[in-house]
Structure 1
Amino acid sequence: MKKLISMIVFVIAFSVFAAGCSNKGASNEAEDGKVTLSFFLTLSNEGEKKAVESVVADFEEENPDIKIDLNLPGGGYEDMLRVKMAANDMPDLFDTHGWSQLRYGEYVADQKDMDWVQNLDPALDKILKDDTGKVYAFPINQAKDGVSFNVNVLEKYGVDPPKTIDEFVKALETIKKESNGEVTPLWIPGGDNWTIGQIYDQLATPLVITDEKNSHGDALVDGSFDWSNYTPLPELMKELQDKGLINEDVLTAKLQQATELMAQDKIAFTFVAGSLGPDATELNPDVKVGTMPVPAFHEGDEQSWIGGERHTIAMWKDTKHPEEAKKFIEFMAQPENIEKMAQGTSAPDALTNVDAENYFSEYYKQYEDIAVEPYFDRVYLPSGMWDVMATTGQELFADTLTPEQLSEKMGEEYTRLRNQ
């Protein structure tokens, strides 16, 4: 009898949970007759949130018969979307955050017939289009990831933005010495371990891809890569830690601390990007944050931007309100809204009919001849390796892995995940 009662309670609880998930996912009709579209985005910084909330409010004012249910779950985004994919109950509109084809491709509607497509930056063609011409998502902006730096700090201590890893290490050493330890040369919020994965992902490209003599892209794709070639990267990170060039609290520091520390001139370099610059400057108008491409690892190689799609809007192929969803996307694609999002996210626009200025525009123009390389993990690693980069990076800082053991573990997980 007890088993029967337990079974009934479980079924009821699961039904309530499933219904709740369903209501949060697919579109629905509100009682007042409005169409409600669910919209999930990975935006997380305050400046980014304010920008998209402003555009959504403008759309709802112009279209009083449509309500946008905006969801910004931050670090929980991927887990939430995985649950929704498994249930085939996706949001009407959602951010593919770099995985428009590989992860979300079978869930998205084709946008090739929409007006905005004629203005897509050709640099994103291979990322957002396939060989059949299908367009997987609308790009709110595009990524040019590198290294952020405090302009005032570098000028104070006579440091130029480094072009190579050797110059980068010397710059960090100079700042530590000249500031008497008052400034953290390289600040890493490793308490949010994905930020460690971000560093490894960005630096892997100049280590094993862009230099002609040290290019292992084909071997990574076919599975024959010798992971000892990856070891110089964890060796570099361990060297920085051992020399006291990164924050002592690297394993507990949180991302939200970045803005205040940068505003106080306590950080010289960081891989934190997004709206860090404008957010820090809002706290302290005298602060100026710059950005630069990732330094070259090998002599004779060039710097690289790391990027591709950043924030996007895909439309669920089974949405009950495709016309309303398209209407919202076309609204987002209007030049004034693209400019607003570029300013809010401090990222370059992705359309040719817009020349949006943002906080980092002068740096994007300064380095406009630097090539944009795709994110390392999206091209060369099997799904699931991002978490491995993050956790092994944590273990290195915690002294539970050596650089050689880190590379070995990466190789083991790379093989296991490829074979799944």
Structure 2
Amino acid sequence: MVGGTALALVLSACATQDDVVTLNFFQFKPEAVANFNGIIDRFEAENPDIRVVQNHVPDADTAIRTLLVKDKTPDVLTLNGNGRYGELAEACVFADLSDLTVVEQVRPAVGDIIGELGSCSTGEVNAVPFSSNASGILYNRGLFAQYGVEVPTTWDELLAAAQTFEDAGVTPFYTTLKDGWTVSPAFVNLGGALQPEDFFDRLRAEGSDVAAGEVSFSKDYPEAMEKLTTLYSFGQDGAASRDYNAGNAAFGAGESAMYMQGSYAIPAIRASNPDANIGSFPYPATNSPEDTVVVSGVDVAVSVGRDTEHPEEARRFVEFLMSPEVVQQYAQEQSAFSPLTTGAETTDPALAGLAPYFDDNRIIGFIDHQLPASLPLPQYLQELALGGSVEGFLSVMDREWSKIAARTIPNEKD
């Protein structure tokens, strides 16, 4: 009798196991593995018929392309909302999620940012924003108070603040030119604020004949790039040998008054110094505060594989991920912003200077996401910040854009 009962239990367990659907969850952020493990535990407790296996690899871009080549698209994916995501969306890798209720709960400006990157067809929503970042200027509250410097709201005030710190022997900006990509935040903020309306749509429409067109980098970006080089002139000595990790540690240790990085750097800064007194403000690209905007990206976007064998279970997991409680908890843990209109205001003091711009929808997307991946922007920005000429940088950008446009089909929006 006991043996029969034991056999029945074993058979019952096997049957239960057979009923469990396993989802392959591709997760690209190394610093968020523990966060998502906790989320998965909660989801599985509420959904015992679904098992979620988180897969994280160091080089996410290479990994996802390898999986696609092998026709092994994961069931659910998190990806950075950038140009590479847009390419995959336009290649119809991801399912249409436009029927999910949460789509209507996304802040309109955030929805526009992810939508403008690309989609399989008009009207489709191929990713739901899970977490938003903000690219501004981080500052040391203690040093600002010590030297009586107010948070700048205009370009002239920003230069005056930098000069005050330099005159006092304090490094105004800690710069990290060993990593070329770290110049990109200044580029996207100044360029995005100062470029003509619909600049990239008009540039794409010109095809390869940029020189004869109405818009170009040489025509429309001189002011932005002159301002970029001005800010980098306030950097510390030895910037060419300092990388991003060194910059996070140095700023956390109080070695500069300001740091041209976004919200995504805050966890790393706090890891080096939990007591770092961090504030933030948007780039005041002009002397008109009413024109100031915050550059924001979809730091984490959630998608479902278009050909998943478990669409119902995958959507159930996405709906759980996108619940306001889960989104808000992740945002707090990762010093990010909730992309949802139902999200609570951030309580992180380091983000207080940027938060009002989200509430007012005064945000724009990362303009470097509009550039072809084959255009080596970080290298060109690095050369410029190390002493190159603005005219030379803009000429190279026009030339490279024209060459790429000449050998590719224009990326026109529907």
2:295 to 303, 306, 311: 306
Q: Alpha-carbon deviations, 1:343-365, whole Å to 9, x = none?
A: 12222212223315342453244
Cα-Cα RMSD:
3.0
Q: Does 1:394 align with 2:382?
A: yes
Whether contact under 8 Å (2:158, 2:284) holds in the other structure is yes
2: distance between equivalents of 1:128 and 1:309? 7
Report the 3-state secondary structure (helix = DSSP H, G, I; strand = E; otherwise coil) of the residue aligned with 2:239: coil
Matches within 5 A, 1:37-186: 37-44=23-30, 46=31, 48-63=32-47, 65-71=50-56, 73=58, 76-99=59-82, 100-105=85-90, 106-128=92-114, 132-178=122-168, 180-181=169-170, 184-186=171-173
Residue 172 of structure 2 aligns to a residue in which SS? strand
Deviation at 1:72?
5.1
Give 2:205's aligned residue.
222
Rounded Cα–Cα distance in structure 1 between residues aligned with 2:303 and 2:383: 36
Deviations 1:378-414 (A, max 9, x none): 4xx44226x5321101122444x42211111111111
User: d(CA) in 1 for partners of 2:72 and 2:250?
Assistant: 41
**Would the alpha carbon gap of residues 50 and 153 (structure 1) be closer, same or farther in structure 2, given more than 3 Å must change?**
farther
Q: Equivalent residue for 1:293?
A: 282
Return the offset for 1:204: 0.7
Instruction: Please give the secondary structure, in 2, of the residue aligned with 1:68.
Output: strand
Structure 1 spans left out of the alignment, 5+ residues: 1-31
Contact 1:388 1:410 in 2 (8 A): no
CA–CA distance in structure 1, aligned partners of residues 57 and 151 of structure 2: 34
Alpha-carbon offset, residue 372 of structure 1: 0.9
Instruction: Report the alpha carbon displacement of residue 151 of structure 1 after superposing the two structures with TM.
Output: 1.5
CA distance in 2, matches of 1:152, 1:163: 19
3-state secondary structure, aligned to 1:363: coil
Q: Distance in 2 between matches of 1:295 and 1:304?
A: 8
So what's the TM-score if we normalise by structure 1? 0.77
Mapped partners of 1:416, 1:118: distance in 2: 40
Contact 2:111 2:129 in 1 (8 A): no
Q: Which amino acid aligns with 2:278?
A: V
Contact in 2 for aligned 1:38/1:69 (Cα 8 Å) = yes
Whether the 8 Å CA contact 1:347–1:358 is kept in 2: the answer is no
The 3 A distance-change label for structure 1 pair 403 and 279 is closer
Distance 2:125 2:272 in 1: 40
Pairs aligned (count): 372
Stretch deviating more after TM superposition (97-106 or 408-417): 97-106
Map of 2:210 onto structure 1: none
Q: What is aligned with 2:14?
A: none
Amino acid at match of 1:390: P
Query: Which residue of the partner structure matches residue 376 of structure 1?
Result: 367
Q: 1:42 to 1:274 in 2, by over 3 A?
A: farther
SS at match of 1:290: strand
Give the match for residue 11 of structure 2.
none
CA distance 1:418–1:135, change in 2 (3 Å): same
CA displacement at 1:322 relative to structure 2: 2.1
Specify the code of the residue in structure 1 equivalent to 2:383. E
Give the alignment partner of residue 205 of structure 1, picking from 192, 196, 218.
192
Asked whether the 8 Å contact 1:290–1:363 carries over to 2, the reply is yes
Is 1:338–1:356's contact at 8 Å kept on the other side of the alignment? Answer: no
Whether 2:178 is the aligned partner of 1:195: answer no
Give, in whole Å, the separation in 1 of the partners of 2:185 and 2:70: 29
**CA displacement at 1:118 relative to structure 2:** 3.6
The structure 1 residue matched to 2:395, chosen from 384, 399, 408, is: 408
Q: For the structure 1 residues 250 and 87, does the alpha-carbon distance in structure 2 shift closer, same or farther, using more than 3 Å as the test?
A: farther
Structure 1: how far apart are the matches of 2:303 and 2:199?
A: 33
- Over 3 Å counting, the alpha-carbon distance change for 1:273 and 1:237 in structure 2 is closer
- Residue identity in the other structure for 1:395: E
Q: TM-score, normalised by structure 2?
A: 0.78
Using a 3 Å threshold, how does the CA distance of structure 1 residues 299 and 337 change in structure 2: closer, same or farther? Answer: closer
Structure 1 contact 207–298 (Cα < 8 Å) conserved: no
Tell me, yes or no, if the aligned pair for 1:190 and 1:250 is still in contact at 8 Å: yes
